[in-house]
Amino acid sequence: MRPRGPQSRPDRPYADRHAFFYDLEMSGFREDLSFYRRHLPTAPCRVLELGCGSGRLGAVLAAAGHEVTGIDLSPAMLRLALARLQEGGYRVRCLCMDMTRLALRARFDAVLVPYHTLNLLAGPGQLAACLASIREHLVPDGRLLAQIHLSDPALTAPGAGKQFQFRTFGLPDGTRIIKEVLRGWDRDTRVLTLKETFRVRPPNGSMADWHYEYRLLGHDRVGWESALAEAGFRIEAAYGDYGLTPGGAPDSTLLLVDARPA
């Protein structure tokens, strides 16, 4: 898939530009598909995707015959998702909605929360509210499939400093985009702080820097298992890598969970 949205127009609002950067990075991501394919029913079923972003996963699920509803809190993300889905001929229902306050009449065979979306619920009570709402929207034997980011011991250990990473993207018009990520750790709240800077460098014209900040839940694996149990979920399977190795390496920051209402 090609990224959609503004190419090198720094006059777009921050939300539109953020959606473009997200799609640029995620549109070609495929590593998580094996997890969803393994744990979704082979027969077409009703799927609710929380944090559907720009439609990457929804398109794959609809192509497999599933009846997909995707929600996201960002209208800019949903505009990209609808453009992608309509162009591909995929039938996916897209709604602008807060995943901590789901208000859908239907119940679903599976609720998917991909790519660390649950970590975004760092506010008081947000995770519990979301998990309770997911339970209400699942059929009795339905399943929750989620990708979760685990706190990195190299960042949370006493005396550890901040972490810095960068990545470079190229656009067809010759524009380079450098993504810089600075991670920090708030020991008092156990929240991961994430600062992203996208430096847009076109071959001609003015340069621009775009900054975004996030607060992410920094639970370790035990913390996430406890949160799911308190919300009434039973973990059926858990993996620590995209190869679906049970448990995974001790230092893995990835957790893929298949859970059902207990």
Read off the tokens for 225: 């298992």
Question: Do 45 and 109 meet the contact criterion of CB atoms below 8 Å apart?
Answer: yes
CA distances from 83 to 76, 78, 181, 186 (A): 11, 8, 29, 38
Q: What is the mean pLDDT of residues 121-137?
A: 97
pTM flag (> 0.95): no
223: CB partners within 8 A, 6+ apart? none
- Helix and strand numbers, DSSP H then E, in the chain: 7, 11
Assigned CATH for 153-216: 2.20.25.110
Other Cβ atoms less than 10 A from the Cβ of 11: the count is 8
What is the structure's pLDDT at 159?
81
> With pLDDT > 70 as the criterion, what percentage of the chain qualifies?
95
Quickly name the fold that domain 14-150+219-261 has.
Answer: Rossmann fold (3.40.50)
Calpha distance 244→254 (Å, rounded): 11
How many whole angstroms separate alpha carbon 43 and alpha carbon 65? 8
Supply 156's token pair.
Answer: 């949370």
Average pLDDT, whole number, for the chain? 92
Distance CA 232, CA 252 (A): 25
pLDDT tens digit sequence for 180-222: 999 999 988 889 999 999 999 999 989 999 999 999 999 999 9
Domain boundaries, the chain: 14-150+219-261, 153-216
**Partners of residue 197 on adjacent β-strands:** 180, 211
- β-partners of residue 258 are 145, 237
Contacts of 202 (CB under 8 A, 6+ apart): 8, 173, 174, 175
pLDDT at site 12 = 52
Which DSSP category does 151 fall into? Answer: P
Model pLDDT for residues 210-262, shown as the tens digit of each residue: 999 999 999 999 999 999 999 999 999 999 999 999 877 778 899 999 999 99
The three-class DSSP label of residue 153 is: helix
- Give yes or no on whether 14-150+219-261 and 153-216 have one common fold: no
Average pLDDT of span 116-121: 97
The CB density around residue 143, as the number of other CB atoms within 10 Å, is 24
